[in-house]
Amino acid sequence: MQSQEHVRAHRHVDHRRTPSKKSPVPDRMSARKRLAIYSLLGTLWFSGCAWLVLDQFFQSKGQFGMTPHPWAPAILLLHGIAAILSMYLLGWITARHVLRWWPGRLRRLSGGVLAGFFVLLALSGFALFFVSDDRWQHFAATAHDALGLGITVFVSVESADHSEAWLQKFAEAVSAMPEVMEFYRMAGDVDYMLRVVVADMQSYDIFYKKLISAVPLKNVTSRFAMEKIKSVTALPVPAA
C-alpha cells in the first residue's frame, strides 16, 4: 500500500515537471513576405544607383550641352514607384513586425538602422517631389540649405537669335540642367529668366560655363539672393 502511494506521488511529480504543451516560439516572417520586402528594397536601391550612374557617366554631349541617357527617365519613374511602395511597406513593418517584436530585444540594431533608413527616404522623397503645402516646402528648403544647396541665383538671359529652332534647342538644353529650378520666357528688357540653386560659388561657376557653352547667347546677368523674405505656393484666389 505504501509502495503504491509512493509510485502515485512519483508519477504525480513527473507529470507536473513534464509540460503538457510546447512553449510558444516566436514565429518568423513568412518566406513570401521576406521575398517581397527584399525585392522592393532591391528595386529601390538598384534603380537609384542605375539612374545615378546614367546621370553622371552616360550622358551624351550634343551640340547644345549634355543630354540625359534615353533610359534615365524610365528608371527614375521606376524608382519613384518603388519609393511610394516602400512607404506602405514601412507602415506595415512598423505596425505588424517592429512594434510586436521590439520588446523581445531581438536584432534591435539592424532593425533600427533599417527603420531609420526608410524614414529618411520617405520624408526626403515626399517633401521634395509630392508636397505643395507651404510649411513642407519651407522644411524642404531648409533641408536643402543644410545639405549645402544654399545659394539661389536669378539668371537673366538675352539672345540675339529669336527663331523657333533656337528657342527649342535652348529650352531643351536648359531643361536638362538639374540646377535650374524654374525657367521662364520673359517680356521686357530680358528674354529669359532662370532660378538656379547651387551649393557654392564654384558650383555656380561650373553651371555658368555649361550654360554659355550650350547655345550662343548675347548677354547673361546673374543676381544672387541674399535673403528669402517670402516664399509661398498658394495662389491668391479671390473669394467668391
pLDDT per residue as tens digits for the range 23-46: 444 556 678 877 888 888 888 888
Is residue 136 within 8 Å of residue 127, measured between CB atoms?
yes
The DSSP element (H or E) to which 194 belongs, if any, is strand 192-198
Residue 232: pLDDT over 50: yes
pLDDT score, position 116 = 72
Q: Do 61 and 99 sit in the same domain of this protein?
A: yes
**Same domain membership, residue 178 and residue 138:** no
39 and 126: one domain? yes
139 and 37 inside one domain: yes
For residues 76 and 44, state if they share a domain.
yes
Structural domain count, the chain: 2
- AA letter at 115: A
What does the pLDDT average to over 214-235? 83
Residue span of the structural domain in which 73 resides:
33-103+110-143
| Model-wide pTM > 0.75 | no
Q: Are residues 167 and 211 in the same domain?
A: yes
In degrees, rounded to 5, the angle at the alpha carbon of residue 120 between the alpha carbons of residues 103 and 179 is: 175
126 and 155 part of one domain: no
Average pLDDT of span 109-117: 71
